[in-house]
Amino acid sequence: MLHRRALSAAIALLLVTAVVASFAARPPHRGQHLTAGPEADASGQPGASDSSIPIVGVSSGADQTSAPSTEMPPSTSRPPTMSPQPVSTTTAPPAPQLPPPVDGARPAPAATPARVTYLVPPHTAIGNFPSVPGSFATVGGTLWFSTGNKYLGRVNPDGSMTLIPTDPVVPQYIAAGKDGNIWFTDNVGYQQGYKVGYVTASGEVHYFWLSGASPADFSGLAVGPDGALWFLMWGGPDGQTEYLGRATAAGAEVHAIGNVPILGPVVGPDGSLWGRSVTGLDHIGLDGTVTSFAVPDGWMIDTAPAVGADGSLWVAATRRVAGGDGVLRLARDGTFAAFDLPTRFNPVGIAAGPDGALWIGSHDQGAVVRMSLVGDLLETIGLGNRGPVGPMAVGPDGDMWLTAMAFGDPGFMDVTTYLVRIAP
């Protein structure tokens, strides 16, 4: 038996040696040099020039890959060569069903009502998007969303989606400007610098380099009470500086406002700017003054704040020590109230719904719950084994919109991202 095993091992070794020698004897393959095309990004994602992608291409414009200078140049624009065309969408196929839950596992999904619709983005064309989940804005009765790639998405009245190329910009957070444009932050990274800008209704892209705050990461974008676009950034040369930025069509500027990270901003009930840290909500004056409201002891904020129909600020939060999830309300008098959420909820977004209730997304539950303004749970809306992965927004049609990702079977990673539309 031992001799037979030794003979088999020797034969295998000879075969491997012969294969290696045959490859070594081949001449090197010359004349094949792969380079990124004019519409391909550094990560290898295909751009609009890929003929297999049903997206109208646009000219790449001037080279903007060099690092920004200390002085802000004028805005850079890139007009499209032709009008973008719609990308057809289909209803999402049923998500794979999970086995019955066991102790500590994901809860069984709630039933999915008929008023839930899934739109399948062409993720095979531009990667799994939105990678910045659920960044929505409404302009002129049309819902727009960021994709996490060099496109902006637009939902058409017939339910199809149109992709607007924005190369070399990767819109991250978006907001509807009072000028009728879609404004964005571009958090490409250290090599290309950081930008803020806007896309016109005709598809022209304008942006400004930001100097003085790099490297720093954006955490939101909102229209301030003065009509300008305001944003927050955290980082800087020391990695521990908070910046407040302001942008108009004339340019953008940033100023350091402290050394505590604040995420946001969002527009509060009084039209002013608010942000949030892990342990509190922060009122941000246009002069950079920050007034903080600490959450009750033991709570940690999980989501950006939402303005409820009662004029209060609402956030989803987690108990750091006792465990469990809940919703915190900051009333106009500066006091907090807490309301419990279901077990293992893992809230990922909260928004005021078209019905006046609060809508809260749960990735672990694979559902959205509706809560009254006094903390009563009104309804659990199942998403069919798809978990919300970001903020929610009310669309121009009065429906609630969000993004969700399929759970997949145990041991199998299904990374398909869906746009979800829920009628009230």
Span 125-141, average pLDDT: 66
Span 397-424, average pLDDT: 76
Band the pLDDT of 59: cuts 50, 70, 90.
very low
Phi, psi of 218 (to 5 degrees): -70, 150
- Extract the runs of DSSP E, i.e. beta strands, from 40-150: 76-78, 86-87, 116-119, 136-139, 142-146
Span 126-137, average pLDDT: 59
- Domain 166-289 part of CATH 3.30.70.260: no
Confidence (pLDDT) at 390: 80
Confidence (pLDDT) at 388: 86
Band the pLDDT of 108: cuts 50, 70, 90.
low
Instruction: Out of 142-151, 161-170, 208-217, pick the least confident.
Output: 208-217
Band the pLDDT of 363: cuts 50, 70, 90.
confident
CA 333 to CA 384: how far, in whole Å? 40
307-350 pLDDT tens trace? 999 999 999 999 988 889 999 999 999 999 999 999 889 899 99
Tokens in use for 30?
Answer: 């010359």
**Residue 4 pLDDT exceeds 50:** no
86-104 pLDDT tens trace? 333 333 334 333 333 333 3
CA 202 to CA 210: how far, in whole Å? 25
- Closest residue by Cα to residue 358 from 314, 412, 409, 406: 314
Span 127-135, average pLDDT: 53
Residue partners of 221: CB distance under 8 A and separation at least 6:
173, 174, 175, 183, 184, 185, 196, 229, 230, 231, 265
Instruction: Out of 10-24, 142-156, 168-182, pick the least confident.
Output: 10-24
Confidence (pLDDT) at 7: 40
State the DSSP code for 97.
P
276-298 pLDDT tens trace? 998 999 999 999 999 999 999 99
Confidence (pLDDT) at 121: 65
Confidence (pLDDT) at 210: 85
Q: Percent of the chain at pLDDT above 70?
A: 66
Tokens in use for 185?
Answer: 């932050």
- Closest residue by Cα to residue 329 from 352, 347, 308, 353: 308
CATH superfamily ID and name for 110-125+295-424: YVTN repeat-like/Quinoprotein amine dehydrogenase (2.130.10.10)
- Closest residue by Cα to residue 407 from 166, 10, 105: 105
202-256 pLDDT tens trace? 889 999 988 766 678 899 999 999 999 999 999 888 888 999 999 999 999 999 9
**Residue 58 pLDDT exceeds 50:** no
**Residue 49 pLDDT exceeds 60:** no
Q: Pick the residue with more confidence: 420 or 128?
A: 420
Domain with CATH 2.130.10.10 in the chain: 110-125+295-424, 166-289
**Which residue has 């209803």 as its token pair?**
91
Tell me the H-state helices in 147-271: none
Confidence (pLDDT) at 23: 34
59-73, 121-135, 256-270: range with highest mean pLDDT: 256-270
CA 145 to CA 277: how far, in whole Å? 25
